[in-house]
Structure 1
Amino acid sequence: MPGVFITATSKNIGKTVLTTCLTYALNKKGIDTVPYKPVQCGAIQKDGSWVSPDAEVYRNVYQPRNEEEINTYLYKPRFSPHLAAQLANDPINPKKILSNYEKLEQDHDFVLVEGPGGLAVPLIDEHYGNAELVKDLNLPLFVVASAEVGTLNHTVMTVSYARSKHIDVQGIILNQYPEHPSEGIQENPVMLEKMTGVPVIGMVPHVDDIETKLKDKAVLDIMTENIDVDYIANESNS
């Protein structure tokens, strides 16, 4: 079971938090799982060094082994990767990402690859972006989407774009599901499945200040109890 690729319908959907929570849930099931962020824009300083903020979130549940790389390309500007790479004079080489992924795959049962931004984000130019990386990695695709109003449009467009690139979306996870959802929000999972033909495999509750609580196993259990984690693990074999 090599792994899966996780994308989102837009920014601030909670893709990194979900990747962290899934890392916890899969490891809890006895599946040796590593989170991997191939490209990170928007580096932060920690102890005098520039680090990946998403990889720092992962560290709530996963500590890299020795010199293990869970982030390959790191850029300071919070720009689209293609532009951040140009400004840094450090172009993204997909072969380097594939090599790093293969090392992680050899050392672990499962790799959760979190793409930067949404599926249509360019990594090199208009011809090579996240969609092309998904195809090069040959991984199943899962989409993290908002549970709120607007998700039908954003999610259907993401799935349609994936299919235009000959990528099959294997599942949708709705994040930040409110404790008291409106009728419209309750209808969203049903309509998403009808419109896309893709199963909604999880609905994750809204938790205030979630990034500050990711070391709490009780919170992690709440975040993942309504996600079909077995489905995610099994789809990597299909």
Structure 2
Amino acid sequence: MRRSDMAVLVVTGTGTEVGKTVTTAAVAAAARAAGRSVAVLKPAQTGVAPGEPGDVDEVVRLAGDVTRVELARFPEPLAPDTAARRSGLPSVPAPEIAEAAGKLAADHDLVLVEGAGGLLVRLDDAGSTLADVARLLGAPVLLVASAGLGTLNTTTLTAEALRARELVLAGVVVGSWPHEPDLAARCNLADLPSVAEAPLLGAVPAGAAARPPADFRTQASTWLAPRLGGTWDATAFAAREAAVTVRPTGPATPLR
């Protein structure tokens, strides 16, 4: 898949708090730096009160001049269908989300659709998910994963769910690469693309959102592979991280 093919890119995660919004901002910033017009669509924002900044606002703060669209907002930090039901507000079904993304794609070079939680989180009481949105749009999916222990299982499950639905997994981005990665995180650089059967397309450093926005925009392309408009090289990054040795904590205790 060439970068120019990605008019719409659906961004999902292996779960919550894995760095989806910061990764979305990084992809948007890299695209803007390349002169592309960008829109970010958040179908359902949960856990944010009216008037408070949501995920799309954070993307704009970090990435700069991008179009932001939020279709629905629910105050409780729950799955969108549960949050909608408890609030008494209407949920947002997949066809409505796909229609909104399609309209944005007519006027923008790149549309980023950021989901809530993972791929199969329910959007409405009919059971619509972000996977259904990607299917309706015919759009590839970018998977944001955590760095450490446990990420291989959730990445594998998400990748299998995508393949079962005949959806394209564009690749995996580590949403928060630790400043001092442990052995599991460093090994996962090789294992993540293997279990996902898709390339590793970036590693966003932990704490990236705390950087001044101007610095974030300047650095974003160095965290992402060329397919996402950046200069990051997975092989070189993995080799550099693998060169960091872990000091032994002491002699192993034999099992008895």
Matched, 1:98 2:98: yes
Deviations 1:150-205 (A, max 9, x none): 11111111111222222221200012212332332211021122223211111222
Whether the 8 Å CA contact 1:32–1:109 is kept in 2: the answer is yes
Residue 75 of structure 1 and its aligned partner are, at CA, apart by 1.3
Matched, 1:159 2:156: no
Q: 1:196 to 1:64 in 2, by over 3 A?
A: closer
Deviations 1:88-141 (A, max 9, x none): 231323333223212211111110110111001011236321211111121101
Measure the CA separation in 2 of the matches of 1:145 and 1:232. 16
Measure the CA separation in 2 of the matches of 1:177 and 1:98. 31
Whether the 8 Å CA contact 2:48–2:73 is kept in 1: the answer is yes
Task: State the one-letter code of the partner of 1:59.
Answer: V
Residue 45 of structure 1 and its aligned partner are, at CA, apart by 4.0
Q: Aligned to 2:38, which of 30, 33, 40?
A: 33
Task: State the one-letter code of the partner of 1:6.
Answer: V
Measure the CA separation in 2 of the matches of 1:53 and 1:74. 9
Measure the CA separation in 1 of the matches of 2:89 and 2:65. 30
Matched, 1:199 2:204: no
What root-mean-square deviation, in Å, do the aligned CA atoms of Structure 1 and Structure 2 show?
Answer: 2.2
Provide the TM-score with structure 1 as the length reference: 0.84
Matched, 1:225 2:230: no
Measure the CA separation in 2 of the matches of 1:36 and 1:225. 24
- Give the corresponding residue for 2:209: 211
* Structure 1, unaligned runs of 5 or more: 234-238
- Give the corresponding residue for 1:2: 7
Q: 1:214 to 1:114 in 2, by over 3 A?
A: farther
* Structure 2, unaligned runs of 5 or more: 1-5, 230-256
Task: State the one-letter code of the partner of 2:55.
Answer: D
Measure the CA separation in 2 of the matches of 1:119 and 1:94. 13
Larger Rg: 2
Q: 1:150 to 1:223 in 2, by over 3 A?
A: farther
Measure the CA separation in 2 of the matches of 1:62 and 1:139. 24
Aligned length: 223
- Report the 3-state secondary structure (helix = DSSP H, G, I; strand = E; otherwise coil) of the residue aligned with 2:16: coil
- Give the corresponding residue for 2:82: 83
Q: 1:45 to 1:92 in 2, by over 3 A?
A: closer
Q: 1:214 to 1:53 in 2, by over 3 A?
A: farther
Whether the 8 Å CA contact 1:52–1:71 is kept in 2: the answer is no
Whether the 8 Å CA contact 1:52–1:74 is kept in 2: the answer is no
Provide the TM-score with structure 2 as the length reference: 0.79
Whether the 8 Å CA contact 1:143–1:173 is kept in 2: the answer is yes
Measure the CA separation in 2 of the matches of 1:131 and 1:52. 26
Q: 1:178 to 1:90 in 2, by over 3 A?
A: same
- Give the corresponding residue for 2:187: 187
Of Structure 1 and Structure 2, the greater strand share is in 1
Q: 1:184 to 1:2 in 2, by over 3 A?
A: same
Runs ≥4 residues deviating over 3 A = 62-65, 219-224
Matched, 1:18 2:23: yes
Percent identical across equivalent pairs? 26
Whether the 8 Å CA contact 1:7–1:119 is kept in 2: the answer is yes
- Report the 3-state secondary structure (helix = DSSP H, G, I; strand = E; otherwise coil) of the residue aligned with 1:204: strand
